[in-house]
Structure 1
Amino acid sequence: MGYLRKESRVSSRKLATADRPPSRASAAAPTSADFGGILGRLGATMAGRAGWVFGVWLIALVALGAAAPSVFSSLAGAGWQANGSESVQVRELAQEHFGGNSSASVQVVVHSDTEQVTDPAVARVLDEATAVFAADPRFGEVIAPQPGMTISPDGHTGILIAGANASTDDMVKAVDDVKGELTALSGDGVEVYPTGASALWSDFNKANHDAMIKAEMVSWPVTMAIMVLAFGSLVAAGLPLLLTLAGLVASAGGLVLLNTVTPISVWAMNFAMMFALALGIDYALFLVSRFRDALGKTGDPRLAVAETMDTAGKAVVLSGVTVLVSLSAVLLVPAPAVRTMAVGIMLAVAFVLAATLTLLPAALGKLGPKVNAGSLPFAKRQQHRSPRFAAWGTLLHKHPWPFAIGAVVVLVGLSIPVFGLKVAMPSIQVVPTNAPVRQGYELVQAQMGEGAPGMLQIIAPTSEADATAAAAAATEGIAMVTPPMPAIDGSDYVMLQAMPNVDPSDDSMGSIVDRLRADLPEQARVGGAPAENLDLQQALNDYLPIIVAVILALGFLLLLIALQAPLIAILGTVVSLLSTAAAFGVAKLIFQDGHGASLLGFTPQGFLDGWGPVFFFAMIFAIAMDYTVFLLSTVKEQYERTGDAAAAQVEGMGHSGRVIFAAAAVMVGVFFSFALADPLPPKEMGVILGVAVLLDAILVRLVLLPALLRLTGHAAWWSPAWLRRILPKISFSHG
């Protein structure tokens, strides 16, 4: 390795001293100085008081675990709205003055091929459905099917409307409770389908929950197999899974308790399950690998834990903080469901991070050499430093330009499709074809027109009722407007229903709503489920640039503080952005254009779900920074020990390459297991995040970033004196 000849004799002596195992005396009687910094001392304390740590965690898991089983039934099912928007104002007015006949109301589609709505058989079913709603205080005014409004032209289909007398979240739970009773009314040639926005979220949340459980059942054995291959030891491989399980149980219970204070979307747990599993295993993999190496040098489990936490532990803390900071930017979006999804993941990451910094060191200290129990034959002489990845680092050192250019070309090429990316809120296609809400939706379309399932609601002052009706009827894209209906509480409002002439998820729906709002009198307001989706999408679009800027700025700042070097902090942030853009480019090709749709088993909507760019950007960037931290912290540690940039780059690859590769394999396995889901959003989530990890780990962390370290040399780690004075002193080397 020719680059080592450039090292000074002092650096060589430092390296030799650092690699030399401690004396028997020091190992026998370690002092606080032997434990290193704060994290090293924390690790030594956890290892020395393992019984107490296990006891505290057991109590916490029993307490939180008691609430965990109810997590999916307790959490909120709605919240997909832009707080303060015009459509939300309309829904609130409808709830207050029109018996709950808002976008949250429940529409029950009743159809018969042989009987008409006014015939006794159908009328009896309508009466029974009305009785179901009357028995539940969460439902408000019940409006029977009205000719010319909610009865089809042929008279065979009618829509019974049950007003919402509770919050949108409670209305989803109300539908959960009564939809079985309603669908059971079908029979004797009469079909009954609960539909509407609340029913949509009820059916979709159930399908999504079932898909998540199925994916988790697949991902756990796959993860275990990868861990066994990575560690070569059954005990070492089992530790990360136990750690992650503890974090998941704690976070599930924590979400249930938090939901009693403020509604938390059920999607929060879905995302938290996936993200906590992937990150928890990442963190444990990094620490367990480093512990096994340190134990081989010291022979003392407590000293080995201290060294592990003093080095790899810092990288884990920095990674966890980066993930939390990235996701916190999503809290800027004024949408409850989006915010609480971020809160759910943040809570899960916080619990996993707490377990990594306390429970795992205690377990490692207690196990000591037994961490290698159950070793497979190939792992008997496995070392922390991988000769293969060190050789790969040497190759990148010798030929940096071809690899750097090749990686950039591929990533830029995959990023180009991003410029044609379209986003919209999910259509009815995200719900399984056999779901009652979809069957009712399609039946209404067939009987009453394309836009009938997406009726727009208009609320205006009584004095402007006629002008509002005339303006709405004259608006391009509106097929029909119902007569103004006075408020049932006598207030000075009227409501009109406007039926668009296109499907609610059609591209032109946004233009229709914009024209309608522009044409109506000033005090008239337009809402309804399609308008709520469009207003939410607009809010997501408006906040995306802000969130991207905040995440990039905070990510750079964290890297700058941790690495104490502006150039490598900039490079680390830029390459993470590049891999994120490439992942979205692939997402556009798959989910918008439909490439590979038949293989993945879905019908493309022609767009990416609207919350994807905001939420996935935060998640992908957090994962990308996770690997950036793992690689650069290891390289920085080597640089601090040797003072030689070339040696640090190669040795950094040797010490972190296998861990990054194994961690990426685990994440890809976890994320791609969600590609098996039938509902489209979890499939999008799994594929996009899996592709992001694949691109980031292989092209960026194992190719581009090491090549850039070679090209920048000592400049990568240079820092001006004034900056060193104001930054906190952080070192990744032990001692």
Structure 2
Amino acid sequence: MTTTTETDASSEKEKQLGALGRLGDWTATHRRWVFAIWALLVVGLGAAAPSVFNSLAGAGWQANGSESVQVRELAQEHFGGNSSAAVQVVIHSEDLQVTDPQMQQVVTEITDIASSDDRFAEVVPPQPGMTISQDGHTGIVLIGAGQDSTTDDMVKAVDDHKEELTALSGNGIDVYPTGASALWSDFNEANHEAMIKAEMFSWPITLAIMVIAFGSLVAAGLPLLLTIAGLVASAGGLVLLNAVTPISVWAMNFAMMFALALGIDYALFMVSRFRAAMMVHDTPRHATIETMATAGKAVLLSGLTVLVSLSAVLLVPAPAVRTMAIGIMLAVIFVLAATMTLLPAVMAALGPKVNAGSLPWAKKQQHHSPVFEKWGHLLHRHPWPFAIVSLAILILLALPVFGLKVAMPSINVVPEDAPVRQGYALVQEQMGEGAPGALQIVVPEADAAATAEAAAQSTGIAMVTPPQTAPDGSGYVMMSAIPSVDPSDDQMGQILSDLRETLPADALVGGAPAENLDLQQALNDWFPVVVAVILSLGFLLLLVALQAPLIALLGTLVSLLSTAAAFGVAKLIFQDGHGAGLLGFDAQGFLDGWGPVFFFAMIFAIAMDYTVFLLATAKEHYEHTEDPMHAQINGLAYSGRIIFAAAAVMVAVFFTFALADPLPPKEMGIILGVAVLLDATLIRLILLPVLLRITGHGAWWSPAWLKKILPNISFSH
């Protein structure tokens, strides 16, 4: 019979374990249940995973509620689908005229292909004075977007039919699908192929770094097992979520990269702590409990910080940007869940075998690193020189950021042999620089004449097409204003602004260039808000976890330094073109528009990941000794090697994307790789430990009133 004393002792023991310690105990003693649940999850969601890239949406690059989106919706409803989402099929011959029978036969065949798909609407053949070049050798067949077709539907329609359309080329006639939907189709295809190649290239590099870091083949394989489980589950989850709301195909691209990097980070921290715990505990179960009660808290806090940072991106009213964040968040949730349940179960099952396959140099490897302990002592003795040098380097690299320009990508981001780019170049050559980026104007019929006259006189407008009355009797009129410059030219923003100011109040201006500019404006407007939300929530999470306002504030602020420095380097490379020849690209003169918002959230999430690992370890030692020197030096001694190895893996993963041909993956890989390199070396392994040294006890001080309102969280065990 159980006595009251035994019950109280058991309850006290459970309380001491904490929630994560109890979770570790449960996973260690119910391993078969954990394995069975994850097997069902991976197999169930994995069944949908192979279709992820074909199922997800290809568009969504728009600012919801903007004037340009209103124009697109009106064009699809009232003008036979002649919107920015319409497909423009360019036909060209050096010898034949568009009016010749052979060219007309190609027009008929294009019409037949369009008629076979309900996603397409009215087909408009080349029109003299509008969509036929002056020499008559080039024409544009307009395939309208169906009234119920979304931009994603149109991109998928191009995916399905572009090979069939380009196959019509022959006998001296060239056929190229162009327009915004075709651009996103070719753009997504090129980027997807580049991302897959980069991922495949990064896996063996990652495994090699893991083997070196762990010194054990079994331990090195655990992070990859964890990541694969998380990736498969998140891929299937995205397919299911896409059935509810369109999810950008870019969501999976980013999720693959981020899940690999973070999964390895988390597993490194957990497995290292487990191996150390196995040296002092008699059973794998107790080692698992200690691992979860200490490293598990840091991993959970890190995962929450990543999710909080990415959730701020959801404020931006752009479907593609939002769903990219959702994709990464879903991957992080699955990887975090696997880290907190599957990994402890596997470690408990392996026990001492976690060190199986140990390499010669790792036989005596300890959780405590003598190298980083010596580094900690050096920083403690000479804090100011290291602080000044690291700050000087970061500030110097960050200075170019003040001249950073952003814009939506130009046609140059797709390969030169892509049909959309060939058609684009042909239209420019035959019909003028601005012809591929016509602005669409929708206006009530009563204002049509005044609108046409004002548009023709507006600065930067080369031509205005004759007004077309809506065939459904809605009273709307539409006309196109052809700019005098390339759609991605710096002057395009001013041209659009002047046109909108010049036209009557009821006139709406849209078209593909306007949608890009409206999206860019929305990204610019929301960027300060996103930054403020990320910094505020990041600080609050650190404050709750560390119970120390000063170091929580410093840990948050120094993350801005690596972010600013990374964007400074991005400006030098992608805007100014330094190193462009070496990296194999032509500089656009700007950074792609989603970069600041999206990459800021990702960089900050990664930076806070390392912050949590370092400060949680330091806080654990401070709780044991209340000695700030001991906390600073041992924080580095016990987490420095993990941070260094995790950063090496992330840099390797990210820099493989620098080898991609398309520009966006190259931008992403270099910016994130530089950010991790700078953050791990100059901030987490130098500047932040120095700040712990300089602030001393003040780093861990907390006012009494704050302690009363914060939950009691301890990292000691």
Q: TM-score, normalised by structure 2?
A: 0.98
Give the letter for the 2:484 counterpart. N
Is 1:325 paired with 2:305?
A: no
Q: Tell whether the 8 Å contact from 1:35 to 1:41 is kept in structure 2 after alignment.
A: no
Choose the corresponding residue for 2:486, options 487, 503, 506: 503
Q: Is 1:693 paired with 2:693?
A: no
Q: Which residue of 1 aligns with 2:599?
A: 616
Q: Deviations over 1:221-257 (max 9, x none)?
A: 0000000000000000000000000000000000000
Give, in whole Å, the separation in 2 of the partners of 1:32 and 1:126.
Answer: 80
Q: Paired residue for 1:147?
A: 128
- Identical columns (%): 75
Return the offset for 1:305.
0.6
Cα distance in 2 for residues equivalent to 1:687 and 1:672: 6
- Structure 2 counterpart of 1:134, from 112, 115, 118: 115
Separation in 2 of the partners of 1:41 and 1:228? 31
CA distance in 1 between counterparts of 2:21 and 2:660 reads: 42
Which of 151, 154, 163 is matched with 1:180 structurally?
163
- Report what 2:280 is aligned to: 297
- Out of 220, 230, 233, the residue aligned to residue 216 of structure 2 is 233
2:50 equivalent in structure 1 = 69
Question: Given that residues 35 and 307 in structure 1 are in contact (C-alpha distance below 8 angstroms), is that contact kept between their aligned partners in structure 2?
Answer: no
Match of 1:708 in 2: 691
SS in 2 for 1:108: strand
Structure 2 residue ranges without an equivalent (≥5): 1-9
The C-alpha deviation readout for 1:302-348, integer Å capped at 9, x for no partner, is: 10011011001100000000000000000000000000000000000
1:363 matched residue in structure 2: 346
Find out whether 1:555 has 2:538 as its counterpart.
yes
Residues in 2 aligned to 1:286 and 1:189: alpha-carbon distance in whole angstroms: 63
Contact 1:32 1:41 in 2 (8 A): no
2:414 is the alignment partner of 1:414 = no
**Separation of aligned partners in 1, 2:496 and 2:288:** 61
In structure 2, the residue corresponding to 1:298 is in which secondary structure? coil
What CA distance in whole angstroms lies between the structure 1 residues aligned with 2:233 and 2:427? 44
1:598 corresponds to which residue?
581
C-alpha separation in 1, matches of 2:509 and 2:685? 52
Q: CA separation in 1, counterparts of 2:503 and 2:299?
A: 56
Task: Show the counterpart of 1:119.
Answer: 100
Could you tell me how far 1:121 is from its partner in structure 2? Answer: 1.0
Q: Deviations over 1:568-588 (max 9, x none)?
A: 011001101111111111111
The count of aligned residue pairs is: 706
Residue 481 of structure 2 aligns to a residue in which SS? strand
Q: What's the counterpart of residue 9 of structure 1?
A: none
C-alpha deviation, 1:30, in angstroms: 13
CA distance in 2, matches of 1:241, 1:31: 37
Q: Give the AA of the match of 1:259.
A: N
Structure-to-structure mapping, 1:396-475, within 5 angstroms:
396-475=379-458
SS at match of 2:280: helix
Distance 2:16 2:166 in 1: 65
Cα distance in 2 for residues equivalent to 1:488 and 1:259: 35
Task: For 1:33 and 1:318, locate their aligned partners in 2 and report how far apart those are by CA, in whole Å.
Answer: 22
Matched, 1:635 2:609: no
In 1, distance between residues paired with 2:302 and 2:332?
Answer: 10
| AA at the equivalent of 1:640 | E
- C-alpha displacement of 1:36: 1.6
Q: Supply the AA of the counterpart residue of 2:262.
A: L
1:29-44 maps to which residues of 2 (within 5 A)? 32-33=13-14, 36-44=17-25
Is 1:270 aligned to residue 244 of structure 2?
Answer: no
Cα distance in 1 between the residues matched to 2:282 and 2:48: 42
Tell me which residue corresponds to 1:479: 462
Deviation at 1:300, TM superposition (A): 1.2
Q: Deviations over 1:558-611 (max 9, x none)?
A: 010000001001100110111111111111111111111111111110000000
Shift of 1:299: 2.8
User: Within 1, Cα distance between the matches of 2:508 and 2:12?
Assistant: 72
What is the deviation of 1:401? 0.3
**Could you tell me whether the CA contact under 8 Å between 1:34 and 1:303 is conserved in 2?**
no
Q: Measure the CA separation in 2 of the matches of 1:637 and 1:709.
A: 14
Indicate the SS of the match to 1:277.
helix
In structure 1, how many angstroms separate the alpha carbons of the residues matched to 2:480 and 2:124? Answer: 14
Report SS of the residue matched to 1:503: coil
- Indicate the residue corresponding to 2:706 in structure 1: 723
Q: Distance in 1 between matches of 2:353 and 2:217?
A: 10
Residue equivalent to 1:261:
244
In structure 2, how many angstroms separate the alpha carbons of the residues matched to 1:32 and 1:202? 59
Letter paired with 1:244: T
Give the aligned partner of residue 168 of structure 1.
151
Shift of 1:31: 9.4
Q: Specify the alignment match of 2:62 in structure 1.
A: 81
CA-CA distance at 1:692 after TM superposition = 0.3
Matched, 1:99 2:80: yes
Offset, 1:32:
4.4
Counterpart residue number, 1:20: none
Q: In the aligned structure 2, how far is the partner of 1:313 from the partner of 1:411?
A: 32
How do 1:639-658 and structure 2 match up within 5 A?
A: 639-658=622-641
Cα distance in 1 for partners of 2:290, 2:192 equals 42
Of 481, 490, 493, the match for 2:473: 490
Amino acid paired to 2:547 = Q
Secondary structure, counterpart of 1:162 in structure 2: strand
Letter in 2 for 1:431: V
C-alpha root-mean-square deviation of aligned residues, in Å? 1.0
Q: Distance in 2 between matches of 1:648 and 1:84?
A: 52
Q: Distance in 1 between matches of 2:214 and 2:491?
A: 54
Secondary structure at the aligned position of 1:37 is classed as helix
Q: Secondary structure at the match of 1:128?
A: helix
Is residue 215–residue 676 contact of structure 1 (8 Å, CA) maintained in 2? yes
1:156 aligns with 2:137: yes
**AA partner of residue 125 (structure 1):** V
Q: In the aligned structure 1, how far is the partner of 2:471 from the partner of 2:37?
A: 57
Which residue does the alignment assign to 2:268?
285
AA aligned opposite 1:619: M
Question: For 2:116 and 2:236, how far apart are their aligned partners in 1?
Answer: 32
Give the superposition deviation at 1:41. Answer: 1.1
SS in 2 for 1:36: helix
- C-alpha separation between the residues in 1 aligned to 2:271 and 2:424? 53
CA contact (8 A) 1:424 1:607 kept: yes
Return 241-250 or 408-417, whichever deviates more. Answer: 408-417
Letter of the aligned partner of 2:410 in structure 1? Answer: S
Q: 1:666 aligns with which of 649, 667, 690?
A: 649
Aligned to 2:4: none
Determine helix, strand or coil for the equivalent of 2:177: strand
Write out per-residue CA displacement over residues 147-179 of structure 1, whole angstroms, 9 at most, x where no aligned residue.
Answer: 110000100000000000011000000001111
Distance 2:81 2:89 in 1: 15
* Equivalent pair of 1:35/1:303 in contact (CA under 8 Å): no
Identify if the C-alpha distance between structure 1 residues 623 and 74 changes in structure 2 by more than 3 Å, giving closer, same or farther: same
- Measure, in 2, the Cα distance between the counterparts of 1:39 and 1:408: 37
- Amino acid aligned to 2:82: N
| Of 368, 383, 388, the match for 1:385 | 368
**Residues 1:34 and 1:373: Cα distance change in structure 2 (over 3 Å):** farther
Q: Of residues 503, 521, 524 in structure 2, which corresponds to 1:541?
A: 524
Q: Read off the aligned partner of 2:703 and give its amino acid letter.
A: P
Contact 1:285 1:659 in 2 (8 A): yes
Structure 1 length normalisation: TM-score?
0.95
Aligned to 1:90: 71
Residues 372 and 34 of structure 1: CA distance in aligned 2, closer, same or farther (over 3 Å)? farther
Are the structure 2 counterparts of residues 357 and 54 from structure 1 closer, same or farther at C-alpha, using a change threshold of 3 Å?
same
Secondary structure of 1:142's counterpart equals strand
